[in-house]
Amino acid sequence: MLLLLPPSETKQIGGTGLTISQVHLSYGQLNEARDQILASLLEVSANKDLGSKVLKLSKRQLEDLDRNLEIPNAPTMAAFERYTGTLYKAIGVNSFSTNEVENMRRHILIQSALFGLISATDRIPWYRLSAETRLPGLEIKRVWNEHQPKAWERLVDSPIIDLRSKSYVELSPVPENLESFWVEVVSEVDGKRKALNHFNKKAKGDLVGAFVRQERSAQTLKELANLAKKVGLKLTVEENKIILVTPETL
């Protein structure tokens, strides 16, 4: 079983060791697309007026353009440590054991707007680019829809639990020939379901954290549902969708 996550907009600055040109990202078939998107992002970031408009930056965020320009030579860190949004905080990555990091490597994937499909343990630099960004002359969605099928082909033996937000699903939907289940988080009051935002991400992170902390990773949806129950969530399956019910409603 593979769990597929979105990245987060907030990221840890810094890192150590190798630069992105020196590391080997998973799914090398995507390197051409990665280089193409990075080149476009660097060109946009070199023009402050254009870059701030394209990346929708406030005046206080303009230093993100300089950080983008440093991407080729910037230090790297594991992707699951780089991302610091609500979902990743809920996973609790700062307390991982060696075995739990190994479970991240084997079972957790991330969909990045810049790097496409990567392993959660792949080392990446800080960057500013989201699925909704419209780069001049380059449609990110088109690039990943064209190139990522080469990576999907390598996942034929594993059911995929797709925890991505809709904008990242659109970058490259899981092919229909692969067994996959998209996760929707809801609250349930008096039999009525309500979609959530903040607690959507937290519930997903709680589930992923429970998954990777098991000595033996869940192999079936029933086992995944039992894990969800341990962290206060209710998991049900409706055709190719997983409904994750959280008691948190605010």
Please give the pLDDT value at position 71.
97
Q: Is the pLDDT of residue 250 over 60?
A: no
For residue 72, give both structure tokens: 């080729």
At 190, is the pLDDT very low, low, confident or very high (cuts 50, 70, 90)? low
Does 133 fall in a domain? yes
Please give the pLDDT value at position 38.
98
Q: How do residues 235-247 score in pLDDT, each as one tens digit? A: 999 989 999 998 8
**Residue 223 to residue 120: CA distance in whole angstroms:** 22
Report the DSSP pairing between strands 108-112 and 2-5.
parallel
Least confident of 34-43, 66-75, 149-158: 149-158
User: Mean pLDDT in the chain?
Assistant: 93
Does 250 fall in a domain? no
Closest CA to 183 of 157, 209, 170, 201: 201
SS3 189: strand
Please give the pLDDT value at position 247.
84
Q: How many angstroms separate the most distant Cα atoms in the chain?
A: 54
At 249, is the pLDDT very low, low, confident or very high (cuts 50, 70, 90)? low
pTM (predicted TM-score): 0.94
Report the DSSP pairing between strands 241-245 and 2-5.
unpaired
| Rounded mean pLDDT, 133-142 | 96
Looking at the structure of the chain, the number of domains it has is 1
Q: Is the pLDDT of residue 17 over 90?
A: no
**Residue 101 to residue 119: CA distance in whole angstroms:** 11
For residue 217, give both structure tokens: 């990773």
Q: How do residues 86-106 score in pLDDT, each as one tens digit? A: 999 999 988 899 999 999 999
Query: DSSP labels for 199-229?
Result: HHHHHHHHHHHHHHTSSS---SHHHHHHHHH
Does 64 fall in a domain? yes
Please give the pLDDT value at position 196.
65
User: Domain range holding 225?
Assistant: 2-245
Please give the pLDDT value at position 193.
72
**Residue 210 to residue 182: CA distance in whole angstroms:** 18
Does 206 fall in a domain? yes
- Categorise residue 232: left if φ over 0, alpha if ψ from -120 to 50, beta otherwise: left
Please give the pLDDT value at position 94.
84
Q: How do residues 191-219 score in pLDDT, each as one tens digit? A: 677 776 668 899 999 999 999 998 888 88
Does 52 fall in a domain? yes
**Residue 142 to residue 236: CA distance in whole angstroms:** 33
At 188, is the pLDDT very low, low, confident or very high (cuts 50, 70, 90)? confident
Instruction: Assess contact for 68 and 57: CB atoms under 8 A.
Output: no
Helices (H), 76-147: 79-82, 86-91, 98-107, 140-147
| Rounded mean pLDDT, 63-87 | 97
Taking each helix axis from N to C end, the angle separating 221-230 and 198-212, rounded to the nearest 10 degrees, works out to 110
For residue 22, give both structure tokens: 């020196």
Please give the pLDDT value at position 197.
65
Does 171 fall in a domain? yes
